[in-house]
Amino acid sequence: MPNTLSSFQHKILTYYSEKGRDLPWRKTTDPYSIWISEVMLQQTQVDRVIDYFKRWLAKWPTVHDLAKADRADVLTMWMGLGYNNRAVKLHEAAKTISTAFKGDVIAAMMSDTKIPGIGPYTKSAVRIFAANHDVVTVDTNIRRILIHEFALDEKMSDKDLWVIAQNCLPLAKSRDWHNALMDYGATLLTARKTGIKPKTRQSKFEGSDRQIRAKMLRHLLAIPTGASFDELLDVGNNKNEAERVKKILEKMAGEGLVVADGSTWVLKK
């Protein structure tokens, strides 16, 4: 455990000043850009996100641009990042922010209004990295650091961890502090080194429902007129798993990705 709070802060911030990662979303304070990066980084490796982030902003540089985008284009741009429902929610959220908040992303993040795909973590993260607000957020890296450095129970509730995180926050340094914590956890105090397991673990992709979803979605993006159920079974080589594929399609429909048009499945507009 650190001897004092100040020594803990000094250690983390010194590591960041000497070995902080050079990432494109750290070179801007634009709330929209920060928001895009935060959504892309959910359950996705940093190295994979970098090129997607740059291409996305080149195509849709503002929240208004994204709000006016075609959903098929949004999904096509997202393919490869995984969990495509994130893209759908991102698109819907952009529409809300563009109209209800006149494009003011920070105002949206500070509002109690329910916005698709935006929860407490994302709201705080955007405020921190875009506006340097004195609020906290706790991702898997920060959680691991707090548990390790303060010898906490791994079963500690998120609510209690957030209280500890708030007590550790150096005022007026929220942006640097959170970047520092994330780098310290991602590159030095790793899960392998500490033995502290994340609360949730991403399942294997090969043979998973996520892989079947991705194959069917790619197929539907390539064929705007849609595809029959039997055709979608063939796409993923799942002829013997009709019930499984049916449930996956129903879930995709519930998430607003696809709709059934008679005997044909099409992308939802």
What predicted TM-score, i.e. pTM, was given to this entire model? 0.91
Higher pLDDT, 135 or 205: 135
Which one of 18, 38, 241, 243 is the catalytic residue?
A: 38
With 70 as the cut, is the pLDDT of residue 249 above it?
yes
With 60 as the cut, is the pLDDT of residue 118 above it?
yes
Task: Give CA–CA dist 96/184, Å, rounded.
Answer: 35
- pLDDT class of 1 with cuts at 50, 70, 90: low
The string of pLDDT tens digits covering residues 160-198 is: 999 999 999 999 999 999 999 999 999 999 999 999 998
Q: What is the dihedral of CA 64, 65, 68, 69, to 10 degrees?
A: -150
**Pairing state of beta strands 227-228 and 258-261?**
unpaired
Q: What is the dihedral of CA 157, 200, 35, 122, to 10 degrees?
A: -20
Concerning whether 255 is annotated as a catalytic residue, the answer is: no
Helices (H) and strands (E) in the chain, counts: 15, 3
How far is C-alpha 73 from the chain's CA centre?
19
Q: Are 81 and 44 in contact (CB under 8 A)?
A: yes
Mean pLDDT confidence for 32-57? 96
Question: Phi/psi zone of residue 149: left (φ > 0), alpha (ψ -120 to 50 degrees), beta?
Answer: alpha
The domains of the chain, with CATH numbers, are: 5-194 (1.10.340.30), 209-267 (1.10.10)
Alpha carbon of 137 to those of 58, 88, 166: distances in Å?
Answer: 28, 24, 9
Higher pLDDT, 238 or 142: 142
Residue 228 β-bridge partners: 264
Q: Closest Cα to residue 5, out of 167, 211, 126?
A: 167
Query: What local confidence, expressed as pLDDT, does residue 2 receive?
Result: 60
Q: Which positions ≥6 away from 237 have C-beta within 8 Å?
A: none
